[in-house]
A = this chain, B = another copy of it.
Amino acid sequence: MKLADPPMPETSGRRRRKDARPSEIAAAALAVFAEKGFAAARLEDVAARAGVAKGTVYLYFSTKEALFEAVVRDAFRPLLDGVGRARMDTSTSCADQLRGVLTIVYRELVATERRQIMRLLIAEAERFPDLVSFYHREIVSRGRGLLAAILADGVARGEFRDGPAVRQPEVVIGPAIMAAVWKLVFEPVEPLDLDRYAAAHLDLVMAGLSAREEAPPQVRGSARHAPRSRRAT
Residues of B contacting A1 with CB < 8 Å?
Answer: none
A37: which of B124, B156, B175, B217 is its contact (CB, 8 Å)?
A: B124
**A63 at the binding interface (Cβ < 8 Å):** no
Which of A13-21, A24-32, A46-54, A218-226 lines the interface with chain B?
A218-226
**A75 at the binding interface (Cβ < 8 Å):** no
Question: Are the CB atoms of B223 and A217 closer together than 8 Å?
Answer: no
Which of A2-10, A65-73, A76-84, A189-197 lines the interface with chain B?
A189-197
**Chain A residues touching B, range:** 35 or more
29 contacts between A and B (CB under 8 A): A37-B37, A37-B39, A38-B40, A91-B227, A95-B223, A96-B223, A119-B123, A125-B184, A133-B189, A136-B186, A136-B190, A152-B233, A156-B231, A157-B228, A164-B196, A164-B200, A165-B201, A170-B175, A171-B201, A172-B204, A177-B178, A178-B178, A199-B223, A203-B219, A206-B217, A207-B217, A212-B214, A213-B214, A228-B233
Residues on A lying within 8 angstroms of B by beta carbon are 35, 37-40, 90-93, 95-96, 99, 119, 121-127, 129, 132-133, 135-136, 140-141, 149, 152-153, 156-159, 161, 163-165, 167-168, 170-179, 181-182, 184-186, 188-190, 196-197, 199-210, 212-214, 217-219, 221-233
